[in-house]
């Protein structure tokens, strides 16, 4: 198979402008006759559905949630990037583009990333106009901060609840279109299969989660904005319901899955505390702006802390190892996520971990509290403030900035982070891999588009902080509404798509038999227990570091687990009823296939890049060692139960030079 990325001709900075002015358009009177299905109402889906509704298309939007506002995007904390250069610190579209390409370890497409950087500025304008209450300075203008992997302040934020505020903005825009009838909203409806008619995506089979009924929905094209698949690891920072099924069902229908093994492990999460644990909680990367990461220098101190005989406060300054500042003086605590996560693992592997499980490092705010306290004292003209007063003032500043995150930490960990440093450890957070798409965000199935975290397009092998929200909204508000035009312009004479065709018939039948199969196993083990076991295999063998041996073994273990699943899973209740256990079951069934593909993809990529760290390929200092000669490509996989097939899309870099990523 040949993959055509359909990148427009011309210089990088002109491509999108030119594309926009030449892409075929659908006239307003025709739009009314064209139907579009949007699956997912997170940032990407809600923004797309709202915009398409405004443009005059007939939109049907689907979410398995009870309301569009509950999508996983709501939980994003830290912020959203945009090349506004409001801070006058040298930011530009090119710099955001460059940082993203470099941060992704040169495994993303130049043209897509440049477009992302270009539209980023419009996103902020749009959100402000919708009433998103971003943080502001005293002068009333928008405030920014810096995030990992970059040296400018380009991140816009709303306390630690940026995702919530952006999603509410998109949800409101969507609600407005629902009220006019431009968008028909299907809550509590889960896409179970993609329907392909004569080679084009023409609809979906959806399950009404309240009644269990299977429904056929047709349209002229289908947009998947169904999020990432980090939950294949069971424990992750993703919401409990996040799953791969929509994308996976598309893969089963012939769409290609790109770079599935590129997973982001986020360095600052609250460590696991027990086997019953259901998910992990992120502590926003923004905290690394002010928090310093360290472990004790001595093994004895670390041991004493683990056993509860000492606390962080007992360790003298000279006995602490601020290992990120030591190893990466230029970026210090603000190195990108993949680098910070691996560094934490290295320290814990040495036996320097500080939680009972040995899997935690400190994130310490005492220096920031002192620094802010002194600045505050200065501003208030208090020349002889006592250390306590300074601390109190500094604490107040930190509270204003991160109050809700500190509160969340205390609720979960049961310890006051203003006094004791936080204990953190890396956790699965984001998946860079996803459905393969071209410049139009169209998959290799004509008429099937993928937006947001569900596609693979912009972050290469590692995503920079605050760039997922940017990408989701870029795709939904500003890219897909244009790019679907090149497909739909040829559909104005198609007429309504009939749901009685053989393709719909067959897809519905297959969905029903998949469900029946699960209900009829009537075994003895819960879905949850299988999911947990899958997660452990994935984390141990396809997690923060990987090797060929382990990946081969992982593939075998997952196969075995899948067999056992279909022999011994127990799904209570009925299929024609509201049945959350059944929902979990069909999602886990798909994870069991995806997990295998991730092992294969990681095995095949004989290099280390970004979040993909193969132990065999590292520099003498333990940094990721890329192999640009042989692996500068996107690995796009066609699923096959016996032997998935790989198609390579070579990545061509015309504007940046590939260098060893250095943050030293």
Q: Contact positions toward ligand FAD, by CB under 6 A?
A: 39-45, 62-65, 71-73, 75-80, 162-163, 190-191, 225-228, 237-238, 242, 245-246, 282, 429-430, 452-454, 466-469, 472
Nearest approach in angstroms of CB 461 to ligand FAD is 16
Give 51 or 395: the residue with its C-beta nearer to ligand FAD: 51
Q: Helices (DSSP H) in 253-322: which residue ranges?
A: 299-306
Distance CA 662, CA 664 (A): 6
Residue 11's binding partner among another protein, ligand FAD, none (Cβ under 5 to 8 angstroms by kind) is none
Residue 372's binding partner among ligand FAD, another protein, none (Cβ under 5 to 8 angstroms by kind) is none
Nearest approach in angstroms of CB 113 to another protein is 22
Residue 179's binding partner among ligand FAD, another protein, none (Cβ under 5 to 8 angstroms by kind) is another protein
Residue 468's binding partner among another protein, ligand FAD, none (Cβ under 5 to 8 angstroms by kind) is ligand FAD
Distance CA 541, CA 155 (A): 34
Secondary-structure breakdown of the chain: helix, strand, coil percentages, each rounded to the nearest 5: 45, 15, 40
Residue 245's binding partner among another protein, ligand FAD, none (Cβ under 5 to 8 angstroms by kind) is ligand FAD
Residue 66's binding partner among ligand FAD, another protein, none (Cβ under 5 to 8 angstroms by kind) is another protein
Residue in 38, 178, 246, 445 binding another protein, rule: CB under 8 A: 178
H/E stretch holding 424 reads strand 422-431
Q: Helices (DSSP H) in 297-359: which residue ranges?
A: 299-306, 323-327, 337-349
Question: What end-to-end distance do the CA atoms of the chain give, in Å?
Answer: 41
Give 111 or 123: the residue with its C-beta nearer to ligand FAD: 123
**3-class secondary structure per residue, 8-34:** CCCCHHHHHHHHHHHCCCCCHHHHCCC
In the shown chain, the binding pattern of residues 544 to 573 toward another protein, with x for contact by CB under 8 A and - for none, equals --------------------------x-xx
Distance CA 204, CA 222 (A): 8
Nearest approach in angstroms of CB 372 to ligand FAD is 22
The residues, ordered by sequence, that sit 6+ positions from 458 with a Cβ below 8 Å of its Cβ are: 100, 104, 108, 109, 112, 113, 116, 467, 471
Contact 498, 529 (CB under 8 A): no
Nearest approach in angstroms of CB 647 to ligand FAD is 24
State how far Cα 533 lies from the chain centre. Answer: 23
Nearest approach in angstroms of CB 534 to another protein is 16
Give 149 or 241: the residue with its C-beta nearer to another protein: 241
Burial of 587 from C-beta contacts in 10 A (0-12 / 13-18 / 19+): buried
Q: What is the DSSP string of 358-389?
A: S--EEEE-HHHHHHHHHHHHHHTT-TT--HHH
Nearest approach in angstroms of CB 169 to another protein is 9
Give 193 or 301: the residue with its C-beta nearer to ligand FAD: 193
**3-class secondary structure per residue, 175-207:** HHHHHHCCEEEECCEEEEEEEEECCEEEEEEEE
Question: How many other CB atoms are there within 10 angstroms of residue 75's CB atom?
Answer: 17
* Set 154, 288, 337, 342: catalytic member: 337
Residue 122's binding partner among ligand FAD, another protein, none (Cβ under 5 to 8 angstroms by kind) is another protein
Nearest approach in angstroms of CB 102 to ligand FAD is 17
Footprint (CB under 8 A) of another protein, residues 285-344 = none
**For ligand FAD, which residue has the nearest CB?**
42
Give 135 or 197: the residue with its C-beta nearer to another protein: 135
Distance CA 518, CA 530 (A): 13
Burial of 131 from C-beta contacts in 10 A (0-12 / 13-18 / 19+): exposed
Whether 514 sits among the annotated catalytic residues: the reply is: no
Judged by CB under 8 A, does residue 531 bind another protein? no
Using DSSP's 3-state secondary structure scheme, residue 429 falls into strand
Distance CA 34, CA 24 (A): 15
Judged by CB under 8 A, does residue 23 bind another protein? no
Footprint (CB under 8 A) of another protein, residues 434-493 = 477-478, 481
Strand partners, 81: 155
Phi-psi region of 466 (alpha: psi -120 to 50; beta: other; left: phi over 0): left
Residue in 36, 111, 124, 450 binding another protein, rule: CB under 8 A: 124
Nearest approach in angstroms of CB 480 to another protein is 11
Residue 510's binding partner among another protein, ligand FAD, none (Cβ under 5 to 8 angstroms by kind) is none
Strand partners, 636: 258, 647
Nearest approach in angstroms of CB 425 to ligand FAD is 15
Footprint (CB under 8 A) of another protein, residues 65-94 = 65-70, 72, 74-75, 84, 86
Q: Closest by alpha carbon to 365, among 402, 411, 310?
A: 402
Residue in 1, 299, 412, 659 binding another protein, rule: CB under 8 A: 412
Residue in 3, 23, 25, 142 binding another protein, rule: CB under 8 A: 142
Question: How many other CB atoms are there within 10 angstroms of residue 218's CB atom?
Answer: 21
Judged by CB under 8 A, does residue 420 bind another protein? no
Judged by CB under 8 A, does residue 276 bind another protein? yes
Give 176 or 297: the residue with its C-beta nearer to another protein: 176
Judged by CB under 8 A, does residue 179 bind another protein? yes
Distance CA 298, CA 319 (A): 7
The DSSP symbol for 653 reads -
In the shown chain, the binding pattern of residues 207 to 246 toward another protein, with x for contact by CB under 8 A and - for none, equals ---x----------------------------xxx-----
Distance CA 374, CA 417 (A): 20
Judged by CB under 8 A, does residue 392 bind another protein? no
Judged by CB under 8 A, does residue 581 bind another protein? yes
Contact 149, 22 (CB under 8 A): no
Residue in 21, 28, 29, 141 binding another protein, rule: CB under 8 A: 141
Residue 426's binding partner among another protein, ligand FAD, none (Cβ under 5 to 8 angstroms by kind) is none
Nearest approach in angstroms of CB 52 to another protein is 9
The DSSP symbol for 313 reads G
Residue in 2, 21, 29, 278 binding another protein, rule: CB under 8 A: 278
Judged by CB under 8 A, does residue 373 bind another protein? no
Per-residue b/e over 538-556, b at no fewer than 16 CB within 10 Å?
Answer: bbebbbbbbbeebbeebbe
The DSSP symbol for 477 reads I
Q: Helices (DSSP H) in 447-579: which residue ranges?
A: 468-473, 480-488, 502-521, 527-542, 548-568
Give 227 or 550: the residue with its C-beta nearer to ligand FAD: 227
Judged by CB under 8 A, does residue 575 bind another protein? no
Active-site residue list: 337
């Amino acid at each position: 198979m040949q993959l055509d990325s359909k990148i427009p001709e011309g210089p990088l900075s002109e491509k999108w402008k030119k594309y926009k002015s030449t892409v075929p358009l659908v006239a307003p009177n025709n739009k009314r006759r064209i139907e579009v299905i949007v699956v997912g109402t997170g940032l990407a889906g809600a923004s797309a559905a709202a915009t398409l509704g405004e443009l005059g298309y007939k939109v049907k939007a689907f979410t398995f949630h009870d309301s569009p506002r509950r999508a996983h995007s709501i939980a994003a904390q830290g912020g959203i990037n945009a090349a506004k250069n409001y801070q006058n610190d040298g930011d530009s579209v090119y710099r955001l583009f460059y940082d993203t390409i470099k941060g992704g370890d040169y495994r993303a497409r130049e043209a897509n990333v440049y477009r992302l950087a270009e539209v980023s500025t419009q996103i902020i304008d749009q959100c402000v106009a919708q009433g998103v209450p971003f943080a502001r300075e005293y002068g009333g203008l928008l405030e920014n901060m810096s995030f990992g992997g970059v040296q400018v302040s380009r991140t816009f934020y709303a306390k630690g609840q940026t995702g919530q505020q952006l999603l509410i903005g998109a949800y409101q825009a969507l609600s407005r279109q629902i009220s006019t009838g431009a968008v028909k909203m299907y809550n509590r409806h889960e896409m179970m299969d993609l329907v392909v008619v004569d080679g084009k995506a023409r609809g979906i089979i959806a399950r009404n989660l309240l009644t269990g009924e299977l429904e056929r929905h047709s349209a002229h094209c289908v947009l998947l904005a169904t999020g990432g698949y980090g939950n294949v690891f069971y424990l992750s920072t993703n919401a409990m319901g996040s799953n791969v099924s929509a994308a996976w069902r598309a893969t089963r229908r012939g769409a290609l899955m790109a770079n599935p093994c590129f997973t982001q492990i986020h360095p600052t999460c609250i460590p696991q505390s027990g086997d019953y644990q259901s998910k992990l909680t992120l502590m926003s990367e923004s905290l690394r702006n002010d928090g310093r990461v360290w472990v004790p220098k001595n093994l004895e101190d670390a041991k004493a802390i683990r056993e509860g005989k000492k606390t962080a406060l007992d360790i003298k300054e000279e006995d602490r190892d601020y290992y990120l500042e030591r190893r990466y003086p230029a970026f210090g605590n603000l190195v990108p996520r993949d680098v910070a996560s691996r560094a934490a693992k290295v320290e814990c592997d040495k036996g320097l971990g500080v939680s009972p499980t040995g899997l935690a490092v400190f994130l310490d705010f005492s220096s920031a509290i002192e620094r802010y306290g002194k600045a505050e004292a200065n501003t208030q003209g208090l020349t002889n403030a006592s250390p306590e007063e300074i601390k109190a003032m500094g604490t107040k500043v930190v509270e204003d900035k991160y109050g809700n995150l500190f509160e969340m930490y205390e609720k979960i960990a049961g310890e006051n982070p203003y006094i004791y440093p936080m204990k953190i450890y890396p956790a699965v957070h984001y998946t860079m891999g996803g459905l393969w798409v071209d410049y139009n965000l169209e998959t290799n199935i004509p008429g099937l588009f993928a937006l947001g975290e569900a596609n693979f397009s912009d972050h290469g092998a590692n995503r920079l902080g605050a760039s997922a929200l940017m990408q989701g909204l870029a795709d939904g508000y500003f890219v897909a509404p244009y790019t679907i035009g090149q497909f739909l312009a040829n559909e104005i004479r198609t007429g309504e798509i009939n749901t009685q065709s053989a393709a719909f018939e067959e897809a519905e039948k297959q969905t029903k038999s998949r469900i029946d199969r699960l209900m009829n196993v009537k075994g003895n083990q819960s879905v949850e227990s299988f999911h947990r076991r899958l997660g452990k295999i994935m984390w141990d063998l396809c997690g923060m570091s990987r090797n060929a041996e382990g990946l081969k073994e992982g593939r075998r273990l997952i196969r075995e687990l899948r067999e056992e699943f279909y022999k011994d899973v127990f799904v209570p209740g009925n299929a024609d009823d509201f049945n959350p256990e059944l929902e979990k079951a069909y999602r886990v069934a798909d994870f069991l296939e995806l997990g295998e593909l991730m092992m294969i993809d990681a095995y095949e990529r004989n290099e280390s890049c970004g979040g993909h760290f193969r132990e065999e390929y590292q520099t003498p200092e333990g940094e990721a060692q890329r192999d640009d000669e042989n692996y500068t490509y996107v690995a796009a996989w066609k699923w096959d139960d016996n032997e998935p097939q790989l198609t390579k899309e070579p990545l061509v870099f015309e504007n940046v030079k590939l260098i060893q990523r250095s943050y030293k």
